Amino acid sequence: LSVTLQPSNQALYFEVLRSDTGASLFDAGASAVHHWRGGLPVEDIYLVRIYLYPSAVRYNERSDYLLHIGITPPSLSGRPLR
């Protein structure tokens, strides 16, 4: 899975979550980055949550953004299909 966020406000970030447990797979705000690429540990539905840092929300800041999400099938990523 790859996720790239292009925000107009640099205080906008994303988090990748597992839908069954709500566990965070990656939180861009903790790393201060706007791109992530990683493997998905189990077959599940994953959510991408977009959020503004609380300090930006306090000042009523807003952001426009473009979100790019890509998925590489296991057969193309070098991992065998199960």
Give pLDDT tens digits for 7-32.
999 999 999 999 989 899 999 988 88
| Burial zone of 3 (CB within 10 Å; 0-12 exposed, 13-18 middle, 19+ buried) | buried
Q: What is the DSSP string of 23-42?
A: -EEEEHHHHT-SEEE---SS
SS3 64: coil
pLDDT band of residue 58 (cuts 50, 70, 90) is very high
- Kindly report the pTM of this predicted structure: 0.81
Question: Which residue is listed with tokens 């640099």?
Answer: 10
